Structure 1
Amino acid sequence: MPWVKKEDCVKCKICVNVCPVENAIFIQDDGYPFINNNICTRCGLCMEKCPKNAIRPNYENPSLRGMGKGMGHRGFGRGLGYGRGRGY
């Protein structure tokens, strides 16, 4: 799932123009593009054509860090859930 790193984006709208899926990338009120991951096909054209590499892969998204594997049972950290190992 690609995302837009706003601090690198120059609002050129190339990503919107190259995207083959209608409305998968649209311009928000602040002028930055937004990628609708519900309809994005992950073809990678937006990442490939971005002149500033502002469109980044999902694994680099800081807002999603700690949400994947390795956090314990069902995404909860230690100390939550049932059974042994719930904490001290």
Structure 2
Amino acid sequence: MKTKKIPLRMCTGCMEMKPKKELVRIVKNKEGEVSIDLTGKKPGRGAYICKDIQCLEKAFRTKKLEKNLEIKISDELYERLKEEL
């Protein structure tokens, strides 16, 4: 029996490779709106982050989230993402 390949993604905060299902996807759509994608299927540019607020804070502090999504993230948008997470 063949073992199924588990897709891995890198967390933007802690930079660790983890299975895709353990991470949360943050998406920027064509209109430039940033939201959390719990299904992992929304269209747009995505960045993965652990289900941990510390990883989100680290990604925001080092501006890696902005670099991955190619958009400037305001403080109010960051707070909204923090609440949703």
TM-score w.r.t. length of structure 1: 0.29
Larger relative helix fraction: 2
| Structure with greater Cα Rg | 1
Larger relative strand fraction: 2
TM-score w.r.t. length of structure 2: 0.29
